[in-house]
Amino acid sequence: MKLRSALLVLCMLVVPGVAMFSHRIPVGMRTAVREAVGRGVAWWQGPSEAAGPSVAAAVPASGGMTSPPAAQPPPVVAKAVIVAVGPSPGQSAQPRRDLERRLEELGGMSFECRPMQGLDGMHVASCRVALDASGQLMRVFQASGADADNATRALVSDVAAWKQRMALRGPAGPASVERRF
């Protein structure tokens, strides 16, 4: 009965507590616990080498957790900042400039188009659009495509469709909000 109670306390309190505050556990302690668990699993598996590598070898040294680089400040959102990759070989930059101009007309800010990591040729385009007149609330849009032009075109299409839906809803404010009780 005591074993069951201890297991219950472990599963209901200790494990969620460690999960919630794991970012505050020192790296040395995480490494020591990971190695101890790896030794325990290796002991439990026995001397058989056919069992494969131990748990300690399978878990990366960072514990699967990476901390953000301290030297980089948070990104600053500036109005109409455009960061885009150059045109793909054999493509003109003019269509994308027209699309970026259209995106600015729709209220798009902080436009960015970049290649996706690990996917050859795929690009992702993103921008922010203000939800209110003050610009305090922003909505982030993202779209992907086979190249930078297609990703930008899909982004412009998404923003235009959203703007059209917002126009059909009517003006936002206390007078137009329905209260459902």
Domain ranges of the chain: 2-58, 82-169
The Cα 144–Cα 147 span in angstroms is 8
Q: What pTM does this model have?
A: 0.44
pLDDT at position 127 is 92
pLDDT at position 81 is 39
- CATH second-level architecture of 82-169? 2-Layer Sandwich (3.30)
CA 61 to chain centroid, in Å, comes to: 22
> Could you tell me if residue 111 is left (phi over 0), alpha (psi between -120 and 50 degrees) or otherwise beta?
beta
Q: Give average pLDDT by consecutive 10-residue segment, the chain, 181 residues.
A: 85 82 80 87 73 49 49 44 44 70 87 85 89 84 89 91 86 55 51
Cα 70–Cα 127–Cα 109 angle in degrees, nearest 5: 95
| 60 DSSP 8-state letter | -
The H or E element spanning position 57 is helix 55-58
For the chain, the helix, strand and coil percentages under 3-state DSSP, each to the nearest 5:
45, 15, 40
pLDDT at position 179 is 53
